Amino acid sequence: MSNHILCKFCGNLRPRTNTGICDSCMIDYEHIKDYVLKHPDSILMEISNETKISVTRIMSFVRGGHFILVEGAFTSID
């Protein structure tokens, strides 16, 4: 069995861990989460502009179930 698998968010090859996410995506996730916790009624474009993380990348976390988009505002579920 391989010691590497694809990151479930970006598709890059990464070492096998229990998280299913590469280091780069984990850093982005934590950055988004910190921002959302400090600014709970943020909208997608605001989060993207303030964190410098693309809308596409942010939406991959939404599709992955790590954030909920409610009437244009984000909520962290982790």
Q: What is the pLDDT of residue 49?
A: 96
Higher-confidence residue of 2 and 46: namely: 46
Specify if 2 maps to a domain: no
In a domain, 50, yes or no: yes
Q: Is 26 domain-assigned?
A: yes
Q: Per the structure, how many domains does the chain have?
A: 1
Instruction: Decide if 74 contacts 45 (C-beta within 8 A).
Output: no
Does residue 1 or residue 3 have the better pLDDT?
Answer: 3
Q: 77 or 40: whose pLDDT is higher?
A: 40
**Residue linked to tokens 């943020």:** 42
* Token duo for residue 25: 């995506």
Whether residue 63 has pLDDT greater than 70: yes
Q: pTM of this prediction?
A: 0.78
**In terms of residue numbers, what domain contains 66?**
22-76
